[in-house]
Amino acid sequence: MENNVYTFQLSINWKLLSLISSIDRFDATWTTIEQREGQTLKQLKSIATVKSVGASTRIEGSKMSNKEVEVLLENIDITKIEDRDSQEVIGYFKTLDLISESYNDIRISENSIKNLHNILMDYNEKDKWHKGNYKQHSNAVEATHPDGTKQIIFQTTESGYPTEDAMRNLIDWYANDNETHPLVKCAIFAYDFVSIHPFQDGNGRLSRLISSLLLLQTGYKWIQYVSFEHEIESRKDEYYRVLQNCQANRPNENVDEWINFFFNSLKNIQLKLSEKLKIQGVETSLTPKEKSVVSFIGNYPGCKSGDIAKKLGIPSPTVKRILPKLIQLNLINKYGVGPGTNYTIK
């Protein structure tokens, strides 16, 4: 497979075809699910946004938990953003929000990618000098370990003309290749973008944002209701190992391992989304409020009835009527007594 920058080797086998087919079968039913589960999906999107923002920034070294991310985003208009973790969270959220709202209007071009980078890096004074512009100095793909130490995974395309040419050719390939399956094109674009590492900083975060953008543009709308970034975070060591293994033979490398990682990640989150929808009543007769309560408990295990009422805007007496029914339906578990009573999904 040639993209005018490098020639990739990719084996088209039954396993790969089966994964593509499985992902596409789910996608074919999505319109029906979307029409039927509007309120539930609205809540899932909100939860997925917090998870995506938290996970993608933590992959790059942020220490903020999902709860801390949620609190920050709820107070985004009144919070003074001073620490770098918070600045990165806000930048990622703003970029993700733009993609979610306007993905059909964002053309895959150098200018649009630079604009996304500009938004991503807009909240830190230290990034002002390079935001929205290709790198001026050499950089590398680095893994950040829990103790804060960094490990170089591989070197990237040289700054200057090599980066400019590589990005121009990657975008031209993506625009003009009408034969490769859209999922394969998304995976290859993400891989080559990370390999080029065109900006001084923020490349990993932007590659995951662009992956979501490309998937949305090619019709995989369910991606916004589950966190692709959270799946990658949970397989962070594998993520870096796969990139390193493929890069070892660049150019003309075999990218089978990366493609399979990318597709397996999509399949995993697809299954998680299906399970969430099933639990929330796609196959039961739960009311919209009951579905929202189940969804909330699934995403915030150990929550109390007061938390549910406050976050969902459902009156406390109504929540207290719903919870026993969900226990009876064997959808949730109840732990403790009195003020300490909390709930988890079965």
251 preceded by cis ω (within 30°)? yes
Whether the model clears a pTM of 0.75, i.e. scores above it, the answer is yes
What are φ and ψ of residue 345, in 5° steps? Answer: -75, 150
Angle formed at CA 169 by CA 167 and CA 171, multiple of 5 degrees = 70
Q: What is the pLDDT of residue 3?
A: 45
Per-residue pLDDT of the chain (346 residues; tens, 9 = 90+): 444 455 677 877 888 899 999 999 888 888 888 877 777 788 889 889 999 999 999 998 888 999 899 889 888 775 577 788 999 999 999 999 999 999 999 999 999 999 999 999 998 888 888 999 999 998 988 777 777 788 888 889 999 999 999 999 999 999 999 999 999 999 999 999 999 999 999 999 999 999 999 999 999 999 999 999 999 999 999 999 999 999 888 878 899 999 999 999 999 999 988 887 776 554 457 888 998 898 889 888 899 999 999 999 999 999 999 999 999 888 889 999 888 999 998 7
Q: What is the pLDDT of residue 82?
A: 78
Q: What is the pLDDT of residue 49?
A: 93
Beta strands 332-335 and 150-155: pairing type? unpaired
In the chain, CATH 1.10.10.10 sits at 285-345
In the chain, CATH 1.10.3290.10 sits at 14-281
Residue range 285-345, CATH number: 1.10.10.10
Which architecture, in CATH terms, is 14-281?
Answer: Orthogonal Bundle (1.10)
Alpha carbons 10 and 28: distance in angstroms, whole number: 26
Token pair for residue 334? 């109840």
Q: What is the pLDDT of residue 125?
A: 80
Token pair for residue 276? 């969430």
Token pair for residue 176? 């003009």
